Amino acid sequence: MDRAISVLRMNDTGVFTKPGPHQYPHQWNWDSALIALGLSHVDLPRAQAEIRSLLSGQWHDGMLPSVVYHSIPSDYFPNPQFWQIENSPSAPSVPTTGITQPPLLATVVKLIYDRQPIHDFAGEVYPAILHWHRWLHTARDADGSALACIIHPWESGTDDSPRWLHLFESIQPEALPEFQRGDTRYVPATERPNRTEYERFIYLIDVFRKLNYAPRELLAHSPFLAQDVLFNAILFRADEDLRALAISLGRPTDEIDGWRRRMQQNFNTRFWDEKIGLYYDYDVRSGRPIPVNTASTFLPLFAGLPSKEQAQRLVEEHLLNPVEYALRGEVRHWVTTTAKTEPTWEARRYWRGPVWIITNWFIIEGLRRYGYDDLAETIQQDSLDLIEASGFREYYDARDGSGCGSDDFSWSAALALELSKFPVPMKAKS
Ligand code: GLC
C-alpha cells in the first residue's frame, strides 16, 4: 500500500490533493472527501486539512461546488473565467464552479469519527455540512419531496452516463460560446465523452451563467433537471451520518429528521420500477422515469433504502444476472458502470461501461449492509486485483482489466487504502 500513499503524496499540492496529476489539476468535491478518507489511515491532520480546504470554496447560500480552483494556474477547461461565478451574490472569493457534486462528505467525516479522535474537528465542520445539506433540500427541491435535483450531468459525478442521453435529446443548443476542450489532451478521445454530449455540457454552463446561478432561476429554467438515484441515495445516507454526528455533538436533529422522513416516503415511489426491479432516475422536465440500466441502481443499498425484497431483486435479478452485470463472456471484472444489455454500452468510454473503484466501493458497502458478505468480498478482491495489475487508474476496461482515463488517480489510491486496510463492517438492515 506504499504505492497508494505515494500517489496521494504526489498529487498533494500542499493545499489540496488533485484527483489526477494532469487531467484534474484542481480540487474536486467528492474526490476530496474520499481522499480525506484514504489519508485518514496514514495522516489524520492532512485528511482534516483536505476537508477544510474543500469547505473554503463553499458558497454563502450553502452550495458546496464541484470544483474549487484555488487560483492555481493550469490548462484545465472549463476554467474559472468560463464559469463567471462573480456575477452571483452567493459566490465565495475563491474561484469555483457554479454547480455541486454528490454529497459524500458527511459520510466520510462520520466514518473517520467512528475510528479516530476527531470530536473537535467534527464540531468545526458540522455547521458547514449542515448548511450544504439544507441548501440541497431546499434550493434543489423542485416538488416538496426533499429529493434533490441536479441541473447538469457533472453534478451526478457520473458525467457521461448514458442515462443523460435521454434528457439531451430535447436539448438543442441554439448557440454555443467559444471553447476549446482540454479533456482529450492527456486521455484518448475514445475514452472521453463524444462531441455532441460535450457541447451540451458547455451549453448548460452558458445557460447557468446567464442566470447568474440564482437557484430559483435554475430550477425554473435549467433545460436539464433530474432527480438522480445515485445523488439522492448518497444524500440520504449522508443525512443519516450527519444525524449521527449531530447526536454525538449534542446538536438538535429535528431538521435532519424532517428531510429523512420526507425522502424515505418519496424515494421508492419516485424511483423504484416494480415490474423491472430496478431504480430509475427521473426526468423532472418531462415528468418521466429514465429507463436506463446503470450501476447507480445499486446505490440505494449503500443508503439502506430498499426493503429486503427489493435488495434481493437488485442482487439476484440484476447484479448476478450474467446478461447484465455478472461476469460472463468478454466481461471479466466487477462491476461495469452500465449494464451490458444497454445499446450504449462501451468498454472503454467514460461511464459507459468501464469499472470504477468508487462505484465498486458503494456496491461493496451496500451489499454488506444487506448481508451479502460473500459477494461483497468477491467484488472487493476483484477491485484490489485490478489495482494490483493495472495501477491506480481512473477506470478499467472490464474485459481485460487494463486501465483507462487518468493515471495515478487519487480516489483509486484512497479507496485501495480503505478497502485493504480497514474494511468497514456495516450493520445488517433490521
Ligand atoms: C470525472 C468524474 C467525476 C470526478 C472528476 C474528478 O469528471 O466523472 O466524478 O469528480 O472526474 O476526478
What atom of ligand 1 comes closest to residue 20's alpha carbon?
A: 12
Are 235 and 242 in contact, with CB atoms under 8 Å apart? no
Half-sphere exposure of 216 (CA within 13 A, CB side): 0
> Which cell goes with 399?
474485459
Pair type for strands 288-290 and 395-396: unpaired
Q: Which of 24, 349, 411 to mutate to test the pocket of ligand 1 (most atoms within 8 A of CB)?
A: 24
In 3-state terms the chain splits into helix, strand, coil percentages (rounded to 5) of: 50, 10, 45
> Does residue 159 have an active-site annotation?
yes
How high is the pLDDT of residue 424? 47
**pLDDT-flagged residues of the chain (< 70):** 422-430
> Does residue 394 have an active-site annotation?
yes
Q: Whose CA is nearest to atom 12 of ligand 1?
A: 19
Q: Which of 11, 34, 154, 159 to mutate to test the pocket of ligand 1 (most atoms within 8 A of CB)?
A: 159
Q: Whose CA is nearest to atom 5 of ligand 1?
A: 28
How high is the pLDDT of residue 271? 98
Are 42 and 71 in contact, with CB atoms under 8 Å apart? no
Distance 157 CA to ligand 1 centre (A): 6
What atom of ligand 1 comes closest to residue 102's alpha carbon?
A: 9
The 8 Å CB, 24+ separation contacts for 245-254 are 245/106, 245/109, 245/110, 245/113, 245/122, 245/126, 246/126, 246/130, 248/113, 248/119, 248/122, 249/119, 249/122, 249/123, 249/126, 251/126
> Which cell goes with 284?
423532472
Residues pairing with 100 in the sheet: 65
Are 189 and 195 in contact, with CB atoms under 8 Å apart? no
What atom of ligand 1 comes closest to residue 350's alpha carbon?
A: 8
Q: Which of 7, 22, 31, 394 to mutate to test the pocket of ligand 1 (most atoms within 8 A of CB)?
A: 31
Q: Which of 31, 61, 159, 397 is catalytic?
A: 159
Distance 371 CA to ligand 1 centre (A): 30
> Which cell goes with 45?
491532520
How high is the pLDDT of residue 422? 56
Q: Whose CA is nearest to atom 7 of ligand 1?
A: 159
How high is the pLDDT of residue 348? 98
- Selection from 401, 406, 423 nearest residue 28 by Cα: 406
What is the CB < 6 Å shell around ligand 1? 19, 24, 28, 30-31, 157, 159
How high is the pLDDT of residue 174? 84
How high is the pLDDT of residue 428? 45
- The C-alpha cell 422522513 sits at 261
Q: Which of 12, 155, 394, 408 is catalytic?
A: 394
Q: What is the pLDDT of residues 205-248, one digit of tens each?
A: 999 999 999 999 999 999 999 999 999 999 999 999 999 999 99
What atom of ligand 1 comes closest to residue 358's alpha carbon?
A: 9
How high is the pLDDT of residue 423? 55
